[in-house]
Amino acid sequence: MHEEMRKVELIIGKILRIGVVTSAIVIVIGIMLYFLNGSGYTGNFPTRFSTILNGIVAGKSYAIIMLGIFLLILTPVLRVVVSIYAFYKEKDTMYVVITTIVLVILIIAMLLGYRS
């Protein structure tokens, strides 16, 4: 069981590293496009995920930078999900419940932030 927890800890570390590096690469690509083409928007910038997605498909730099920021925000959320799995495998019910509550709070906060 100890060996399995070590593997989970390594996976969590990899998730954090990959998430940060990926988001940094996406943000840098967006910044480079910004200096080449501008933001791609006149007036209102996208705030909804659907408009950001449309902007990414259209190659708009601001939307690509927003994707990088979204990936950066998503990285610790993914860590919480993996932690729930790790605590479940350890049969540590209290920490499964606590970490699940943290995940629910994160999801509610993202949904409330999305609505405003």
Tens of pLDDT, residues 60-82: 888 899 999 989 988 889 989 98
Q: Where are the alpha helices (DSSP H) in the chain?
A: 2-37, 49-57, 61-89, 93-115
CA distance 53 to 76: 22
pLDDT at 1: 60
Measuring CA to CA, how many Å separate 107 from each of 49, 51, 67, 74, 114? 15, 20, 18, 10, 10
Per the structure, the complete domain to which residue 9 belongs is given by: 2-115
A 10 A CB-CB count for 87 gives 20
pLDDT at 50 over 60: yes
Q: What is the dihedral of CA 112, 76, 23, 54, to 10 degrees?
A: -30
Count of domains observed in the chain: 1
Please tell me the pTM assigned to this model. Answer: 0.78
Contacts of 14 (CB under 8 A, 6+ apart): none
Q: What is the pLDDT, as a whole number, of residue 115?
A: 63
Question: Quick check: 110 pLDDT over 70?
Answer: yes
In this structure, are residues 71 and 22 in contact, taking their beta carbons and an 8 Å threshold?
A: yes
